[in-house]
Structure 1
């Protein structure tokens, strides 16, 4: 393996994670993103609650 490529792998991974986080953050802070996050959280919370109610 090329020794100069070894430090580049973690650096490129960090750059990818930072860019992905930026894109995700911008999409979630918009009005549609907030509505989508609220709907997703409602589904996540209501799923186990419904299962608990149906079990008795």
Structure 2
């Protein structure tokens, strides 16, 4: 992978993982709904807010 990245003008590594089972760890249905994005309305700004909410919930655990 490294030789291919050296050739790229803007190399990056993207990690892709399954969401299976992870959303159930969220404490509120509202947070789960935000991350599931069923209606397709998730924006970068909304994702940032959802991440902040998730951290707050996780710290409260």
TM-score by length of 2: 0.31
TM-score by length of 1: 0.33
Structure with the higher fraction of residues in helix conformation: 1
